[in-house]
Amino acid sequence: MNIEEQQTEYKRLAEARLSIIPEDAVLSVGSCGEFTRDQILKEIEEDSEVGKKMIEIQIKYLQMLKEGILYGNNTDN
């Protein structure tokens, strides 16, 4: 898988994860402000800086979950 394909997959994964949160949920994106679910999905679709940040956050979360960091199961200790 090349980098472009990987970025497309990350984008699709983030969109899928965020699309299941409640429509009226509000997400805070640091100093960028607060966004509804639909606003975040639009930011991702438009490839904005906020959209890119949300993709990064989603992928980082999944990596941490996989590594057991979120639940204290990290075997590196």
Q: Across the chain, what does the average pLDDT equal?
A: 90
**Any idea where the domains of the chain sit in the sequence?**
3-71
**pLDDT over 90 at 68, yes or no:** no
Residue 3, beta-bridge partner list:
none
Give percent of the chain above pLDDT 90: 74
